[in-house]
Homo-oligomer: A and B are copies of this chain.
Amino acid sequence: MSFFTKRYHPPGTGPGTLRLPDKPNPTPPRITLIDYSDTELQEIEEVTPEACRAALERPTTTWIHVQGDPDPDTLTRLGVLFDIHELALEDIANSGQRPKTELYDDQLFIILSHPLLEDDYADTEQVSLFLGKQVIFSFHGGSHDPFEPIRKRLRKHSGRLRSKGPDYLLYALADLVIDQSFPVLEQFGAELEDLEEKLLAAPSRETLRRLHELKRDALLLRRMLWPQREVLNNLMRNEEYPIEADIRLYFRDCYDHTIQIMDLLETYRDMTTGLLDLYLSSVSNRLNETMRVLTVIATIFIPLTFIAGVYGMNFGNKTDSPWAMPELNWYYGYPLVWGVMIAVGVGLLYLFKRKDWF
């Protein structure tokens, strides 16, 4: 995930300006229309905005899903046909928006963040939802359509999805996007547990890198997921929104999930901080142990080497002065020096042992 993911127009551009992104559009938009009631279901793929307009005439619930990056032309046509506010169109085009809800006349506009499991980092994609009378629009930027499970439930007529109105479908879509955080967070938790074990055993440069990446990902995920609390709170409580009372109960359940997701992310963030502290403490600790080994060895042998150096001096060679290293002439001189050296070494070892150094 890049640190800055929001698309924006140069400051001073008029609101509602739709513009092609700089790089060529990787995934051309595909519009899928599903029209359903309790008794019937019609599914048309690769439909034009104009064909969608016709579906609105019937008293069924219509779900229009636009997969891929919508080009300015498609967006403008949808905007004109379904009377969508220019600011909403701009928000759909400029992906990387903060999750939010907005009520334009009778149309409820919702932006959500869809978290993604990638190889070794987390990313989010923007999902934009529109709730009008008998109609729901959904926009998803990536190449993979996340809403297939909902379509399966619609086709199978399982649960109460078919018998309820578009607000229940909105709940189903939002719930899917929100719950997508759970597998991401589960993997996060597993990685953290794995890292904790490694840190307590033997911290390495690689664990530090992975830990830093997890912390950064938690931060970026939090930025994109946090505002969903507010979104769900609005959907649950705002009396102006065109959502029926018994459906609000379901949004309340969904709201509880966003809170639990935030709890988890906060806890993970605190945990990565805790693990970083553990890393630092472990490295300090190991440094201390390293230095003790060096200190013990050096402190014992440096005086001994000095003693050996003393008797390597050549004072006894050239003069016969009785002061010239008489130790060299002693009968037991050599074993005596060994004795002194062993005594010094053992004494120092004993001292270190008593100071509890190894």
Contact = CB atoms under 8 A, between A and B. Distances in A.
A219 B267 contact: yes
A133 interface: no
Given A149-B12, A189-B3, A193-B3, A316 B313 contact: no
Interface string A303-337: 11110111111111111010111001111111101
A15 interface: yes
A241 interface: no
A59 interface: no
A177 B276 CA distance: 34
A264 interface: yes
Interface residues of A, number: 127
Interface of A: 2-4, 6, 8-16, 85, 87, 97-98, 100, 102, 104, 147-150, 153, 158-159, 161, 172, 175-177, 179-180, 182-183, 185-186, 188-190, 192-193, 196, 200, 202, 205, 208-209, 212, 215-216, 219-220, 223, 226-227, 249-250, 252-253, 256, 259-260, 263-264, 266-268, 270-271, 274, 276-288, 290-295, 297-299, 301-306, 308-319, 321, 323-325, 328-335, 337, 356-357
A110 to B, nearest CB: 13
29 contacts: A3-B267, A4-B185, A8-B182, A9-B179, A10-B149, A11-B177, A12-B147, A12-B176, A12-B179, A102-B252, A104-B249, A196-B212, A215-B274, A219-B267, A223-B264, A279-B281, A280-B281, A288-B290, A294-B294, A294-B295, A312-B313, A314-B316, A317-B317, A319-B328, A319-B331, A321-B330, A323-B332, A323-B334, A324-B334
A159 B14 contact: yes
A143 B29 CA distance: 45
A332 B114 CA distance: 77
B283 A285 contact: yes
A2 to B, nearest CB: 7
A219 B314 contact: no
Given A223-B264, A290-B295, 15 more contacts: A3-B267, A4-B190, A14-B153, A15-B175, A15-B253, A205-B282, A208-B281, A223-B267, A290-B357, A294-B298, A297-B299, A298-B302, A302-B305, A309-B309, A324-B328
A150 B12 CA distance: 6
Nearest to A268: B3
The 6 A-B pairs of least Cβ separation, nearest first, read A12-B149, A4-B189, A308-B309, A3-B189, A14-B159, A311-B313
Contact of A328 (B15, B282, B314): B314
Contact of A315 (B13, B172, B259, B333): B333
Contacts of A330: 319, 321
B250 A87 contact: yes
A73 B234 CA distance: 36
A227 B332 CA distance: 81
A216 B272 CA distance: 10
B317 A324 contact: no
Contacts of A11: 149, 175-177, 179-180, 182-183
A304 to B, nearest CB: 5
A318 B319 contact: no
Contacts of A283: 281, 284-285, 288
B302 A295 contact: no
